[in-house]
Structure 1
Amino acid sequence: MSADDLQVTPLGPQHDRAAFSCGEATLDRYLREQASQDRKRSLARCYVLTRVPEPARIVGYYTLSAHSVRLHDLPEDAARGIPYRDVPGVLIGRLALDTREQGRGLGERLLAAAVEHCARLERDLGLRVLVVDALSEGAARFYERNGFRRFGTGELRLFLSLRHVRP
């Protein structure tokens, strides 16, 4: 199946959450039990990656929510020119890929979709950074390979400047 068969849509009742398993229990449980509640409470939005021929089967998902970062937490080069103490951004709260789909480059595709989504939002809102809290060192390296930078040495919190990202 080609990459053109993939689509990202908001999580809805038509999606089979029970069949999704990424190998990390907290991420599986979030999708099954909390994602819809977060949407109703306006705490986060969940987007799912599916294949056009199987629109109910979730290949992967990510969540986005409004976020801000203290200016002094950003590295000096990223903070340059910002006159405020809080920097507006977006948080990728969760990003997961079904175990049946791992190892095919779809994690990068899912992350790229989240970044593109935020770049589109940046056209209408004041957004400067995309932030993620990696669950492990391996996950942090995945984000680094995809352009994210750590807030500090050894930290699992990373960011991507949205200044030069365009959809």
Structure 2
Amino acid sequence: MRTLSFCCGVAEIDKWFRSKSLKDHDRRKHIVTCAHDAGADTQPIGFYALSTVIEEARLLAGAPYIPFFGNPRYFPCLSMVYLAVAQDRQRQGVGSTMMVKVILDFADYGEQIGLPLLILTPLNRAVADFYEGLGFERYRSGAGMFLPLQTAIDMRDQLRAAE
């Protein structure tokens, strides 16, 4: 896969993808999934990186969770570390398609292994609005967002029923 020419327009994300994504994926620090045009070369048109993390319960007052190893102060979550679309493919549905895949996978895996929330930190207000439209809620004084597992399961079940 060619990562060196990927450009989403956010310097931090572009730098990470070009220099660290494959190393982090190989070390299982993050699971990095790339989107490509069907039948095209290996140039990614977008990607997302997921990781499991431990979050503090006090930051998500009222959110359902199972304590991490019996410690009620912490619980495991799935974290979307990055989601990016190549600049020349933005606003064409690539990011929305990748988010649907993330949410569907979260519904399946979260249900199986007990991850109650998908969490993320949006880059700006427009991105936060996009995630709110998918059912994400704000926490950490609005800096972070979460999607409850049950919301993801409901979305998955609605999509399957529509097929």
- Scaled by the length of structure 2, the TM-score of the pair is 0.83
Question: Is residue 120 of structure 1 aligned with residue 114 of structure 2?
Answer: no
Determine helix, strand or coil for the equivalent of 2:115.
coil
Mind listing any 5+ residue stretches in structure 1 that lack a counterpart? Answer: 1-14
Identity of aligned residues (%): 25
TM-score normalised by the chain length of structure 1: 0.81
Measured on the aligned residues, the alpha-carbon RMSD in Å equals 1.8
Mapping of residues 1-167 of structure 1, within 5 Å: 15-76=1-62, 78-79=63-64, 84-153=72-141, 155-166=142-153, 167=156
Structure (1 or 2) with the greater helix fraction: 2
* Cα displacement (A) at 1:106: 1.9
Contact 1:135 1:156 in 2 (8 A): no
- Runs (5+) with no aligned partner, structure 2: 157-163
Higher strand share: 1
* Per-residue CA distance 1:105-130 (angstroms, 9 max, x = gap): 22111111111122221243111000
- Could you say what secondary structure the match of 1:124 adopts? helix
**Paired AA for residue 148 in structure 2:** S
User: How many matched pairs?
Assistant: 150
